[in-house]
Every structure is written in structure tokens, then in C-alpha cells.
Amino acid sequence: MRLLIVDDTALYRKLLTDAASPLSGVEVAGAVSSGPLALARLSAEPIDLVLLDVFMPEMNGPEVLAIIRRDFPKIAVVMISGATGADASITINALANGALDFIPKPQTTSFAEGMTRLRGQLQHVVNMVNLRRINTASAAPRTAPASTPAVTGSAAMSARAVPVPVTPAQPTRRRVLPPATLDILLIGVSTGGPRTLQEMLPGLPADFRLPVVIVQHMPPLFTRTLAEQLDKVCNLRVSEAGDGERVVPGRILIAPGGRHMEIIRDAEGALITRLTDAAPVNSCRPAVDVLFDSASRCALRGAISLILTGMGEDGAAGVATLKAAVPTWSIAQDEATSVIYGMPQAVVRRQLEDEILPLPTIAPRLTELARSRQ
């Protein structure tokens, strides 16, 4: 995987180069200081992944991103973001406009700790891009005979290195109909989430009758910015959840970055949020499994679980726990419309899904379910 680093600060170019160079299967093709230099390199040589700074002179990150998406649509772009409100706002917009993910710039005072964390984040990005390439290769139409490889080049090498899972057989046990009564909509999402949520959530009408609670894998500050931006385009009120907040219809609550979010019953029996600093689950905090596990203990009459695009398997175990305890209608986003078909695929592999839906149809289906089952 050939990697291009784009950052106007020499220090960060060196840090990113030093962090990425030892990664297996990665070649740092170059490190440039501006958008125009980056675009010239992309025109001159093959690049698979661009690490793109948010703020730069001449052309800022989003401006460069727009040109890459237009002229080099197969190249993955990951934003490199600071930890200010302005950085977060621009980064969330970049994610909504085609960036695959983002990496926060190191904030620790320990160089060794910062480098270790940065290298881990870059390894995650490399794994994610490889998975995306494999998913793309496996989804491509196959017109050649079975004995002839249908994918060639670097994508084929990646596909051989990591076998593509076989779609499991249809489960022997599924819900025939959604629960007669529904109390809540629980959503888990990760990579590709901001763009996916921005497309899906505005489709829920103002009279949507279920509370909506979301875990989006994202660091502190960024979840608040995401909620603020979604609130501007949604018919329902969207906010980052606080501790002890009521879970009620008309509200969409997003778990704050860096904290687990649970739902519990208060002394009056109402659903409220509880935030904790417990250890990460599935290397995530907040974790989808934590939210779904907590919902399974709330004596719900019925629930909808929705697992959207994302890397890894967070949410699959939670869906299983929820379905075992509560009448649950499980929806998974389909592969074709997922940025990364990891989390939804984990649900499908376990045969936990009741429906697999493309992104454009999810909000109408949720609206239909909410209106017909109260």
C-alpha cells in the first residue's frame, strides 16, 4: 500500500513518516507540504492512501479532498485533525464528503506514548483500507470462468492474503414479524458513520415515535460536533448525551466520545442514560455492545437494533444479547452501501439479522415500523 502524507508542518510530516514506515505492507511514497504538491504527486504516480492535514495554506484539507474525490475516486483519504472545535467541525464535514476516517494529532507530552498510539491508529487505517479493497474486489461482477481469477493486481494479492468470508446459510430461526410494541431504536456505527448518519437521520420525520440512541466510534469533542451538525439537518433534536438524561421520543442521543453509554431505568421507571469510564470493549469506548447489553436489562417491550457501516465486530454480541432478552427486530446495512462492511457483516455472519437493507431504504423502513407498532 503506497501512502502519501500531506501536512504543512515539518514535524508532523516526520512523525507520520516515522510511525508509518515500519508497518508491514506499507510504503511511504512521500511527504509533501501542500495541496498542490499532493495533487501533482497523485497525477504522477500510483497512491493508495492519502493522510491529509485539515488546515494548510494555499488549499486546505477539504479543498484537496474534493479534488481527490473527483479526479482520483479510488484513493482512500484519511484526515489528520487537531483537537480544537474548528478542527473537529471541518473534520466531520470532510467525513461527510468522502474522507474514509480521521486520525487525531498526538496530544500527549510523552513522545514514546504518542508514537505508539499514532502507529496503532495508522495500523487500524491500513487494515481498514485493505478490508475495503477486499470487499470491493469480492463484490465485483465475475464474468470469467470459475477457474480464472476475476481480480488482478494489488487487490487480488490482498484478497489472497485475507480470505473473503463465505455468506452464511439462511438461519433456521428468525422473527416472522417485528415486535407488536416498540420502545426504542438502538444504533451502532463506526467508520463511514458521519456520512451515513447525515444521509439517514434526516429521513426520520418529526413525529418519529421512538427514542433514538446511537453509539458512533469517535474520540471526545468530535461526537459533540457531530451531534451539533446533525441537529441542523434533522427533524428530530440531536445532541451528545449527558449523564442521567431522559431517553424520550423526539430526541436522538449520541454517546460522548471516550465514555461508555448505558441506558437504565430510574426510580420512576423512566429510561435514562448512564455514562461510565469502564475499560474499553472491543477496543472501543464508547462501545455498541455496552449500550445494547444495558438495553437488554431494561424490560423493554420491543426494540429495533440497527448496525451500520463500520470496522470490526462491535455490536454483534450486543445484538445477540438483546435478541435473547427482548423482542428485537435486527436490521443490518447491506454491503453495497457500507463504507466498511465489518460491523454489519458480523451481525449477518451470526445470523442475527431480520432484514438487510441498503442505506436509502433504512429511514423509510424505520418510519414504517415505528408508525405501525406502538
User: How many CB atoms are closer than 10 A to CB 89?
Assistant: 17
Q: Is the alpha carbon torsion for 129, 130, 133, 134 positive or negative?
A: negative
3-class DSSP state of 16:
helix
Residue 315 to residue 303: CA distance in whole angstroms: 15
Residue 278 to residue 290: CA distance in whole angstroms: 10
Residue 182 to residue 268: CA distance in whole angstroms: 20
Contact call for residues 80 and 102 (beta carbons, < 8 A): yes
3-class DSSP state of 136:
helix
Catalytic residues: 190, 217, 314
Question: Which helix (H) or strand (E) covers residue 210, if one does?
Answer: none
Q: Considering only CA atoms, which of 307, 336, 342, 304 is closest in space to residue 323?
A: 304
Contact call for residues 330 and 319 (beta carbons, < 8 A): yes
Q: Where are the beta strands (DSSP E) in 143-228?
A: 184-189, 212-216
The contacts of residue 237 (CB under 8 Å, 6+ apart) are 231, 250, 251, 252
